[in-house]
Amino acid sequence: MHLLTLIRTNYYLKIMARFVEKRMKRFLLGGIRYIVKAPAPETINNLVGIEKILIIRPNFRLGNALISTPVIDAFRERFPSARIDYLATDKTWPLLQQRPVDYFFLLSRSAILRPWQCVTLLRRLRAQRYDLAVQVSGGSTSGFIVTRLIGARYPMGSGKGHQRWYSIEAEGTSSHAYDAIVNLTRPLGVACRNRPLLQITEQERYQAITKIQQLASLHSEQPPDTNFIAIFVGGHQNKRWPLAFWLMLIDAMEACKIRYVVFLGPEEFRLLAPIEQRLMSSLYGSLCPPLPSRHFAAVLGRARLLVTPDLGPMHLAAALDVATISLVRQKESLGFVPQEAYDITLWRPEVSTVVEAIRANVDRQNTTVLEQTAAVIG
């Protein structure tokens, strides 16, 4: 596991590993498409005996797993009596809890170095004899491979190119990841939420409030409330923002006297010391220590706003209906940022632009609270 950790934290090793991974997947994909013939086209209404369904999303990024969550609820509504299983990873599984899934199959990162684990997992899946296998992401090679090799009676997914890949193929193209999920579930004839889903338990809410109050108590001038701006410092490769940007944003938040909490991504601990030092004299900001994914989600759910360039926390905020300010510097990210009316996307902004957007959001929320209070009193 030391080798995998080194690859994940080293920029150049990560690029090389992804290049090798893509070449291997392309080789496997070509072999499967050559060996396994294209399935006959079907429609949902013509399917019979759908008793066991497998939803497939073996991806290690938390955001990608969250995007798939509305699919689970859509299939549960369409097939209420069917057994619905989900192929996830050991990293993403915690965020999928509380969804209507009967059983989770988990893929571990260790399978990269132990390919026999993948073979064992495929055998377990084939033994289930699924009636319907659903490939959530149209661009996932590993998902397609699993979908075709487990021997389900009907494979389902998003079409790609002129060749048929699945018995049931979603029609239409989507410029946004959330819309792609809606397209995938459209053949079911049921409503599908155009935004991720995440359910926080009462115990997790209590733990989150306790954690936030602990952070707020570090500043005697501030009341121990849960009304704060979340700033998540993170991002993969070229999506990252420099340290100077975050330090300037912290200074601007102090000048505006707005309460905020800073979170660091798993690959940003090189920034821990300078950010921690800057916050030592802070009157309004706190640095939250690393938290397990669900605990972090519960804390984020108490924020009034999230500011980040990292897509994973963006999807978490979207699932919790927390407003976001997305800091974007790569065009491909535009197809993944939250897109509700209260969400804001900023293209390579200056710090002053970010602060202006934060203040506008705070003013709008304060106005809404005053209007609601006046309506109750009236």
The 3 state secondary structure assigned to 329-341 is CCHHHHHCCCCCC
3-state SS class at 202: helix
The pTM of the full predicted model, rounded to 2 decimals, is 0.86
In this model, does residue 225 exceed pLDDT 70?
A: no
Amino acid identity of residue 32, one-letter, is: I
In this model, does residue 12 exceed pLDDT 70?
A: no
| Banded pLDDT at 220 (limits 50, 70, 90) | very low
Average pLDDT over residues 271-300: 93
Specify the pLDDT at position 82: 97
Specify the pLDDT at position 198: 95
| Banded pLDDT at 193 (limits 50, 70, 90) | very high
In this model, does residue 57 exceed pLDDT 90?
A: yes
Nearest C-alpha neighbor of 99 from the set 343, 294, 312: 294
Find the range with the poorest average confidence among 30-44, 269-283, 299-313. 30-44
| Banded pLDDT at 85 (limits 50, 70, 90) | very high
CA–CA distance, 73 with 185 (Å, rounded to integer): 10
CA–CA distance, 97 with 65 (Å, rounded to integer): 11
3-state DSSP helix/strand/coil % of the chain, to nearest 5: 50, 15, 35
Residue with the bigger pLDDT between 19 and 236: it is: 236
CA–CA distance, 204 with 182 (Å, rounded to integer): 29
Specify the pLDDT at position 17: 58
Average pLDDT over residues 135-153: 84
| Banded pLDDT at 1 (limits 50, 70, 90) | very low
Q: Under a CB-based contact definition with an 8 Å cutoff, are residues 249 and 261 in contact?
A: no
CA–CA distance, 63 with 92 (Å, rounded to integer): 9
Q: State the average pLDDT for the chain.
A: 86
Amino acid identity of residue 62, one-letter, is: L
CA–CA distance, 239 with 328 (Å, rounded to integer): 7
163-190 pLDDT, tens per residue?
677 888 887 778 899 999 999 999 999 9
3-state SS class at 15: helix
CA–CA distance, 326 with 319 (Å, rounded to integer): 15
Angle subtended by helix axes 243-256 and 351-377, to nearest 10: 40
Average pLDDT over residues 271-285: 92
Specify the pLDDT at position 227: 80
What is the percent of the chain with per-residue pLDDT over 70, rounded to a whole number? 83
